[in-house]
Chains A and B, each alone.
Chain A
Amino acid sequence: MKFQNRLSALAAVALVASLGLTACGGNSDGASGSSGGGKTTVTFLPKNLGNPYFDTSDAGGKAAVDEFGGTYAEVGPDTATPDAQVPFINTAAQQGVDALVISADDPKAICNAIGTAQSAGTKIVTFDSDTSPDCRDLFINQATAEGIAKVQVDEIAKQIGDSGEIAILSAAANATNQNAWIELMKKDLAADHPNIKLVDTVYGNDDDQTSFDKTAALLQAHPDLKGIISPTTVGIAAAARYLSTSEYKGKVALTGLGTPNQMREYVKDGTVTSFALWNPEDLGYLAAYAAKALVDGTITGKEGDKFDAGKLGSFTVGADATVLLGDPYVFDKSNIDKFKF
């Protein structure tokens, strides 16, 4: 292992030098971090900046990196378009960072850049939204797709009395995680909730303005709509803002995935009864520890590999080099004030 790390460190230094950039001592130290004493450099690359969900997950990542004494950085595009992350991956590879923790905007578009980074010795961990399994080293799964789909369907069913029309307000039409969840929700609805009819799926592109306008259009287009599921934090907050100022407030149920800070106002004024999420802080925290375990050589991404993740305890790598964080969590009026993210 040690030998391999030396090699990759050498490769990283050679790459940096060949590109005519100043070879940075800190980075080459970092790459051989397993030999002890050096700092592991971990860079977080969220889908886009300015998204409170990633602010929280990356804060968790920073906490973990600080705990194990590594060097933390965060970079990212301002909008979540398929290939926006490519230049950031290239830059990270040129800088020779030890590990890159990515939430992928697109499952395929960034794979080439990831390949280049890996051959420069950078370990790639995806979290929140995966790439194709063959192009990254490890995926930190926030919850199983089945669990996420089920909790949202269960919540909406509970709120609308298990019958009536519902719609989905998603992020981008090509967002990996969103589409997987939507497919499973459809199956769950067909199997267990025959009286609930999914009438429409619209895409707000994780943009406040678009999501807001799409919510308005949904309510117009489907006068009998009883509920909206928005499996994205930007979408559910924009939808809640629209609902809270409209005649549909309290009449059309809204649930999905949101963060307590963004939703607090709307839960308290009665627009939203409940919504779900895992703890993104824990997710970022786990991703950072997993990245360190990869860099150190404790794990390789093989099924059954075990590693320690600080306060979260021990985790085991599952099939397809995936690590599972746990079950989703439901927030409502009674518990929302306990959470500050």
Chain B
Amino acid sequence: MTDLMLRPSRVSPVQRAAGTVLRSREVAVAAVLVAVILVTTLKSSSFLFSSDGWRDLLLTPCILVPLAIGQTVVIVTRNVDLSVGSVLGLTAYLTGRLFLDHPGLPIVAVFVIGMLAGAVLGAVNGVLVAFGKVPALVITLGTLYIYRGIFLTWAGSNRINASDMPEGFLNLGTASILTIPVLIIIALVVLAVVGYVLWTARGGRELYAIGSDPDAAKLYGLPVTRRVLTAFVVSGALAGLAGVVYTARYGTVSSGAGYGIELQAVGAAVIGGVAIFGGSGTVWGAAIGAFLLVTINRALPIVGIQDFWQQAVVGALIICAVVLDRVLSVRQARRLVEARELS
């Protein structure tokens, strides 16, 4: 994507396509993911081949994937949404309350209400960032604490227990169609829709333009305020979805739900090749990054790496991803300069 063609006429289309694939971050991260799965499966075959192993491999990322997708939509516009962990917690608790206070509510309605609630919370972020012209980092750091505070006030020391929710909803946590868990199918559908919009729709491409150069985007007449606002609404709605999914999977919600997960979402996006300063990266990459992050967390104990080192490994992975980006961009800049001097 980011590869600039120096001498297009001398390179055949096949070679060019091959080059793009080889240099694509998505493929690189997916290769690491496959390697992690392979090594772990060699160590313990049940990691992939037992029915629980296969299910958990696909099911565990079902919360982080929607968060990473939403985060990417925001980061691409040169913003960041740190409040998603608190939004997830709030909507997870809301989900439980809905079942407690309105028994008989259809499960689909709960999903819709959860996403709408998340969208409203995201809209608050969006309005403050887009109209207030305050850096998103500061605004969403503020709402991270505000939303968590609201959650604590509302939930107090109450918690949602598995016995508070209908069996049909809890079964969703492990239900699958043709051995593919339902919850990850939901995440993949979201990925396909958002990915398609970002890849080809006008609104989606404008998000990249805004992130590449906000001033130029404004001068060019792009609806910067509206697009940024929309990006935050999408991120909020997906955090709301993740909240409902969280409740279905874990069956209990306490006031600590989703604590700190926003940093994992940012981490997943960065590992997946989303530039933290906006303007480049794809949701496919972020989703694979999320897959890699949760799979590594599950794989390390099986490979025999001690608990305490696991977080260090994740940190190293993020730094590697950023350094790799930097090295590649410096090299590309040098090649472009050389090319200009030659011509």
Contacts and interface: CB of A to CB of B under 8 A. Distances in A.
- Specify whether A and B are partners: yes
A203 B307 contact: yes
B127 interface: no
Interface stretch (B46-54, B204-212, B323-331): B46-54
Contact of B307 (A49, A50, A51, A202): A202
B44 interface: yes
B98 interface: no
B162 A241 contact: yes
Nearest to A202: B307
Given A217-B301, A220-B302, A208 B252 contact: yes
Interface string B278-308: 0000000000000000000110011010011
A237 interface: yes
B255 A212 contact: no
A200 B303 CA distance: 13
A245 B157 contact: no
A245 B173 contact: yes
A27 to B, nearest CB: 24
Interface stretch (B148-156, B185-193, B195-203, B265-273): B148-156
A39 interface: no
Interface string A226-257: 00000000100110010001111000000000
A40 B241 CA distance: 47
Given A217-B301, A245-B174, A237 B256 contact: no
B56 A223 contact: no
B259 to A, nearest CB: 6
A49 B156 contact: yes
Contacts of A200: 301
Given A79-B259, A220-B44, A247-B51, A209 B161 contact: no
Nearest to A209: B250
A203 B308 CA distance: 9
A265 B254 CA distance: 18
Interface residues of B, number: 38
B157 A55 contact: yes
Nearest to A78: B255
Nearest to B163: A265
B250 A212 contact: yes
Interface in A180-238: 200, 202-203, 207-209, 212-214, 216-221, 223, 234, 237-238
A207 B44 contact: no
B301 A261 contact: no
A74 interface: yes
A216 B60 CA distance: 10
B163 A48 contact: no
A51 B52 contact: no
Contacts of B301: 200, 202, 214, 217-218, 220-221
Contacts of B156: 49-50
5 contacts: A48-B255, A49-B156, A50-B255, A220-B298, A262-B161
5 tightest A-B contacts by CB? Answer: A50-B254, A50-B255, A217-B301, A221-B302, A49-B157
Interface of A: 48-52, 54-55, 58, 74, 76, 78-79, 173, 200, 202-203, 207-209, 212-214, 216-221, 223, 234, 237-238, 241, 245-248, 261-262, 264-265
